[in-house]
Structure 1
């Protein structure tokens, strides 16, 4: 962006924050804020996908990358036009800043012809069968025993109690058909150089029974899970990773709008193992926002 354009953008920002939004607040007693610094916090946080001071040095209107300031401006204009709910943006900002508790997870996320729900003890047998299927597990080091699968199922469901989100059981017309959702990696992984930080990763993943393949459940289920963690939990980003050779999962990541950001060797696999080379993908909350609000459901 040319220097004159940058300066014009900054003037529009100051006018929006200092004049137009505070003036409009007088006619909107339902708005959660009315002061310029509060409007700035809300719009900048939502443009950055988290507390703006974590990624931008103050003053933000000077140091914010032009594309992010443009997003903040578009959100403010959408608020003024009635196309964006200021209360929703404020709620996300306060969640990110730990000023509000994360709401409890729902029992179910309904989809079109399927649903995501919490785990049940009756899922143990079909999950064990899924994890023992060599075709399902072909991109894992080995299939799992029934005891290993049961332990994994309990650990996956406990994520909801620990973090407020987790991998949902996928329910299709055939019954339990696998899982889709988000969780914090249990083992240290060498993401730091690729993501620019060493902690705080949340990944999204899926594992589906063979009868559920080719029916769009991985993509549609992941979109439901993403909508939940980006809205209710206000996560700033999710990552996904898989073996280089796992073309089906990589296609799902691409259809979700995730960006491939690099490769790494999985530390749980020995040198020379064909599954050791992995690819890392990322999706940021700020990249699924526009002037009309979250667009996770409209990813390609």
Structure 2
């Protein structure tokens, strides 16, 4: 198992075959996926997992699988995702997370994201990290604030239909200099 980051309670690592079943279940859960256009099918989840694995294998970073140190349970992912197009703020590196609902409200997204953000600026030497979500997703927006990102703007997501309730998104960001001054 290739461990990339650790926190007091979490291991962030490369994906492994045993992550597939809980990942498929998480991405099919309508409550977990309520801020996305649709839950993912099994095939979509497996294809997404393969893309993530390949990206980490190639670049050494990405959307890491997260497991609890105490039990070894897969709880979701936290990490960095590269966007090369679609957004007026692209190219960019986004910090993001998705956790199975039984692990919500434990501070795991914040704990893991703080470690990823530190890694992004101290190890990867990134200049800027963004995060975005629908304006309806206040739990994720709170995580963005807790890890030190600042709101930049509200925007219409270019891949969401104009009449869809998830159209409007918030964009947060932090640059390396601001992060290092605060930490």
TM-score (norm 2): 0.93
Instruction: Name structure 2 gaps, 5 residues minimum.
Output: none
> Cα deviation per residue 1:174-197 (whole Å; 9 max; x = unaligned)?
611100001202642122xxxxxx
Determine if the alignment matches structure 1 residue 220 to structure 2 residue 118: no
The secondary structure found in structure 2 opposite 1:184 is strand
Instruction: Name structure 1 gaps, 5 residues minimum.
Output: 1-105, 192-198, 296-300
Give 1:107 shift.
2.6
For the aligned residue pairs, the C-alpha RMSD in angstroms reads 1.5
1:144–1:175 CA distance, 2 compared to 1 (3 A): same
Give 1:109 shift.
1.2
More strand by share: 2
Give 2:38's match in structure 1, choosing from 135, 142, 155. Answer: 142
Determine if the alignment matches structure 1 residue 231 to structure 2 residue 122: yes
User: 1:233 and 1:157 mapped to 2: Cα distance?
Assistant: 18
> Does the 8 A contact of 1:165 with 1:229 survive in 2?
no
> Does the 8 A contact of 1:190 with 1:264 survive in 2?
no
The secondary structure found in structure 1 opposite 2:20 is helix
1:174–1:165 CA distance, 2 compared to 1 (3 A): closer
* Alignment partner, residue 134 of structure 2: 243
Determine if the alignment matches structure 1 residue 280 to structure 2 residue 171: yes
* Alignment partner, residue 81 of structure 2: 183
Give 1:274 shift.
0.3
Determine if the alignment matches structure 1 residue 256 to structure 2 residue 147: yes
User: 2:163 and 2:59 mapped to 1: Cα distance?
Assistant: 35
* Dislocated runs of 4+, deviation >4 Å: none
User: 1:186 and 1:137 mapped to 2: Cα distance?
Assistant: 23
> Cα deviation per residue 1:36-87 (whole Å; 9 max; x = unaligned)?
xxxxxxxxxxxxxxxxxxxxxxxxxxxxxxxxxxxxxxxxxxxxxxxxxxxx
More helix by share: 1
TM-score (norm 1): 0.58
The secondary structure found in structure 1 opposite 2:132 is strand
How is 1:89-238 mapped onto 2 (pairs within 5 angstroms)? 107-172=3-68, 173=71, 175-185=73-83, 187-191=85-89, 199-238=90-129
